[in-house]
Amino acid sequence: MNVGKFLPPTRTLLGPGPSGVAPSVLEAMSQPLVGHLDPSFISMMDEIKAMLRAVMLTENQMTFPVSGTGSAGMEFCFVNLIEPGDEVIVGINGVFGTRMADVAERCGAKVTRVEAEWGRIIEPAQIAAALGKVKPKFVAIVHAETSTGALTPIEEISKIVHGADALLLLDAVTSLGGCPVRVDDWQVDAIYSGTQKCLSCPPGLSPVSLSERAMDAIRGRTQGVQSWYLDVNLLANYWGEGARVYHHTAPISMNYALHEALRLVLEEGLENRWARHEANHNLLRAGLAEMGLGIASQEGHQLWQLNAVSIPEGTDEAAVRAALLNDHGIEVGPGLGPLAGKVWRIGLMGHSSSKENVNRVLAALKELL
C-alpha cells in the first residue's frame, strides 16, 4: 500500500474547538520522548499540576490532567462521585448538560433534570426549586455551554447548593482560560475542562480538580469506582505526591504541549487573557451589528469565547460555512439541536482570539452575505 505523507491544509480555527495553538506548543510536541516514569517527566508533571492550580485558582491537591479529551474528564468526575442509586441534579440548557445527564444515568444515578431553553442560562431559582424536592449528592452545571454560547453564573448557585449540603460539579471545558473560573472562591467541588479550547493545546487531555469535600465523598463510597481507568484512587498513585506508581502510559507529547500552553497562559496573565477574550468578543459583536447580525444567546450572559451568531432569514447557512472554509480558510461551527440551521458558532478561543481573526471573519462574512 503506497500512501503519501499527510499534509493538512492551513486553517484559521474559529469554530467551537479545537482552537489554534501557538508555534511553541507545536514545537513542544516534537521534543524527544522520555518514559512516563522518567525523573524528568515526573518533575514536569509536578509543574503541570502547579500551573493548573494557578489557572483554576485553587489549592486543591487533586488537580491534574486526565489522559483523554474533555468527555473523559466529565466521566472521571461522574464515575468517582456516583454510586448506583445516588440522587443528582443536572442543569440542561444545551448539548453538554444533556450529555452529563446521560453519563450520570449510565453510572446508576437517579437524575433530576433542571432545564432551560437552549441559549439561556440555568437560573439559581431553578436549582433552589429542585433542591426543595430532592436531596442530591451533587448538582452539576455547565459553566460555558459550547453548543449555545451561554455562560451560567456560578456564585449564587454554589451558595444554594452548599446550603443544601450537596456538592457542586462544574463543566469548564470552554470557560477555563477564557473567562473567570475561580474554583476555590466559588467552592466548586469537582471540575473538568479540555485542553483544546481556551488553553490552546491540541485535544487529548482533560484538566480536572477535586476538593477535599469531593475526596471525602469518594473515600466514603461503599462500592468501588466502576471505571478502573478513571478511578481517582488509582490515578492519585501516579499523579500524586511522593513515589509514583505505574497506572497507565501517559501521552508524553501531549503533556509536553500542555506544559507549554499553561506556561503561555500564566506568562500572559489570567486577567490580561480574560480581558483579551472580552475585547475581541465586543469587537465581533460590533462588527456583526453593522451587518444587521446579532448573537442568539441570552443578553448579559453571552460567552466571550464562543459566539452563537443568528443566521439571516433565507441564508443557506451550510453554503456560507463551506465558502468560509474553502475560499477563506476559516472554520466556524454549525448550530446543534434546536439551534441547527439557526446559528453559526464563531469561536474566539485562546490563541485564536485576536483582533486580526475577528476582522478576517467579519470581512469574509460581509463578502459572502
**Structural domains of the chain in order of their starting residue, each with its CATH number:** 12-16+270-368 (3.90.1150.10), 24-266 (3.40.640.10)
Please state the rounded mean pLDDT for residues 274-301: 98
Give residue 172's pLDDT band: very low, low, confident or very high (50, 70, 90): very high
For all residues of the chain together, what is the average pLDDT? Answer: 97
DSSP string covering 290-313 = HTT--B-SPTT-B-SSEEEEEPPT
The pLDDT of residue 137: 98
**Cα separation of the two ends of the chain:** 45
**Rounded Cα–Cα distance for residues 137 and 129 (Å):** 16
> To which H or E segment does residue 13 belong?
strand 12-13
* Banded pLDDT at 240 (limits 50, 70, 90): confident
Which grid cell sits at 317? 447557512
Query: DSSP code of 339?
Result: G
pLDDT at 242: 73
pLDDT in tens, 328-355: 999 999 999 999 999 999 999 999 999 9
Q: Flag whether the pTM goes above 0.85.
A: yes
Q: What is the DSSP letter of 16?
A: S
Beta strand pairing call for 138-142 and 167-171: parallel
